[in-house]
Chains A and B, each alone.
Chain A
């Protein structure tokens, strides 16, 4: 493995510093307490600082002698489609009901792949929605209405 300046290392380290720092800063808003009775903020502050410190170490290592990793392309289309699908499901499963929410979720998910043709997408949507309905609603008695109140049921 060749070692030199590494963008992925710096990025990963940066993420750790960011999240660790954010949690550490956030925990200052909670009581820190005493060693006898640690407050809710003490442990997250400690761990947040550890995460940030480890992140910093990764950044430094990445600048000096990082792992050479091929970062590769980012499938923006898939990222957008899957994010949209899951958020849609969370937002609408109550209101639209199980069947419409599932169907749209699958349809949005299929958009993630460039290789799924429209006809295929519709077939996958119908099949998976039916399968999910049979398994979860009929089989496992999940208490979500098939068609939700937003659709006038």
Chain B
């Protein structure tokens, strides 16, 4: 019963009074900073990281992990309330979450997100405790070829984020991929499409794109016809999910948890795919497909669960192998080093109290998060009563400061304007912004892994088909493309038939 002993060690560490307190402080601060528009979870963690440097290693890491979940939950709250996602997973939450808020059901959306995250977090903690090392080994089977195919599948799947035309969604995805190529090419160092501005060498910041395409574009739409505009957000129907809601979210939460936990283990970008893969799955299995994009609670519960599960299992490569899966994990590596712990496969054996304490604290963190946020829902919902004449200048100002503070780069602010105007016009033309955002995030991963796989295989493109995992993923991608195209083809045939009548 090693596992029980280990968990006992973990909980005895995590339940030390100072660890619980700092876990709470971390969750609280993370939520507080994460809700600020224009500041995504990565920026939140980077900003708050130095605070943790003064503590004992275990305490510092527990607090940092708390900041991370808090920041993610805070980001989802902003996405739901004011349609301003700070990272790609929140963009998925915004689709139906903000629609629900517009229909006076912000409370239910927030509660679904909180409960979904909690359940997902609990399950993922168990996964982490039981199977972390073997899962990490499996994840290492994924090389560049597999990641290319996985990300390609992800790109195709993101068509389902759109409620309208699949053709336009595909074009938006491709445009996002294209915009993701701006910046220094990592293979040669060549600056691409940077207009000779060194500020653009690092590429366009995701938050600028998200704030522009979602936030600014939405503000412009709202200001189109001010006299006709009704106070949509003001009236709040039942604060809590109804019995019907609760029944509807169980399936999505469980499916999202499983999907997210599995994808999160992959260090090369699996966690990015979690939330919208879940959205795509829910949209496909749902009997009420037409509700998606118009406030379907499944579209909030599933992706939020998947995201939180993935956030948690993305600790697996770090804790078992010392390999960071994404920027936030790289920050955690820094925290390890500052505290004199050499990240690597030996952490489990050398620092069992730290390893198991961190795992146990994740569950405690999820408990604290749900305890903190369920009561807060009432307050968040009340924020919707802020008059729009105050709200929209606030969004603009905070977004400008938030994106600027990331790297003190004025181009990040100008990018908001560019994407705001581009997004506004494209949305008016019936193109939806979410697929573009996903393309923007996945594009660089696609290119990186495509080129890397080809270098390693000496230019042999069949590598994507001869490696079994990669081949399976590509077959799935083709299937997904056909499924996405089918309704359009079928509809066209119906149109043709009706015209013949």
Contacts and interface: CB of A to CB of B under 8 A. Distances in A.
Chains A and B share a contact (CB less than 8 Å) = yes
Contacts, number: 202
B175 A75 contact: no
Contact of B405 (A83, A90, A128, A142): A142
B414 A73 contact: no
Contacts of B181: 23, 43-44, 47
Q: Which residue, B181, B408, B422, B429, has most C-beta atoms of chain A within 10 A?
A: B429
Interface in A55-106: 55, 57-58, 61, 65, 67, 69, 71-75, 78-79, 82-83, 85-87, 89-91, 93-94, 102, 105-106
Given A38-B454, A120-B389, A51 B414 contact: no
Given A15-B425, A67-B164, A128-B393, A73 B225 contact: yes
A16 B170 CA distance: 11
Contacts of B21: none
A58 B398 contact: no
B175 to A, nearest CB: 5
Given A54-B174, A57-B167, A35 B454 contact: yes
B224 A124 contact: no
Interface in B230-267: none
Nearest to B170: A54
A116 B393 CA distance: 11
Nearest to B491: A1
Interface in B251-301: none
Nearest to B48: A140
B82 to A, nearest CB: 15
A148 to B, nearest CB: 13
Interface string B447-465: 1001100110011010000
Given A43-B181, A79-B220, A115 B226 contact: yes
A82 B414 CA distance: 11
A105 B414 contact: no
Interface size class of B (residues with CB under 8 A): 35 or more
B425 A109 contact: no
B495 A51 contact: no
Given A20-B175, A37-B455, A89-B404, A106 B430 contact: no
Interface in B4-51: 33, 36, 47
Interface string B314-331: 000000000000000000
A47 B154 CA distance: 16
Interface stretch (B95-103, B132-140, B183-191, B373-381): B183-191
A115 B389 contact: yes
Given A43-B451, A67-B430, A90-B400, A58 B167 contact: yes
A86 B417 contact: yes
B416 A86 contact: yes
B392 A109 contact: yes
B218 to A, nearest CB: 12
B495 A3 contact: yes
Contacts of A15: 422, 425-426, 429
B404 A31 contact: no
A71 B425 CA distance: 9
Given A3-B495, A87-B417, A89-B400, A71 B428 contact: yes
Given A54-B174, A58-B168, A140-B33, A82 B397 contact: no
Nearest to B416: A86
B186 to A, nearest CB: 9
A118 interface: no
A114 B226 CA distance: 8
Interface of B: 33, 36, 47, 164-165, 167-168, 170-171, 174-175, 177-178, 181, 185, 187-188, 190, 192-193, 216, 219-220, 223-226, 388-390, 392-394, 396-398, 400-401, 404-405, 408, 410-411, 413-414, 416-417, 420-422, 424-426, 428-431, 443, 447, 450-451, 454-455, 458-459, 461, 495
Closest 5 CB pairs of A and B: A36-B459, A12-B429, A90-B413, A90-B410, A40-B185
25 contacts: A9-B429, A12-B425, A13-B171, A16-B171, A23-B181, A26-B192, A26-B193, A31-B190, A35-B459, A37-B187, A44-B193, A51-B175, A57-B167, A75-B223, A82-B216, A82-B219, A87-B417, A89-B401, A89-B413, A90-B410, A109-B392, A109-B397, A128-B390, A140-B33, A140-B405
Interface of A: 3, 8-9, 11-13, 15-16, 19-20, 23, 26-27, 30-31, 34-41, 43-44, 47-48, 50-51, 54-55, 57-58, 61, 65, 67, 69, 71-75, 78-79, 82-83, 85-87, 89-91, 93-94, 102, 105-106, 109-110, 112-116, 120, 124-125, 127-129, 131-132, 135-136, 140, 142, 144
Given A30-B190, A82-B219, 10 more contacts: A8-B429, A15-B422, A23-B181, A27-B192, A35-B461, A51-B178, A69-B429, A113-B389, A115-B389, A140-B33
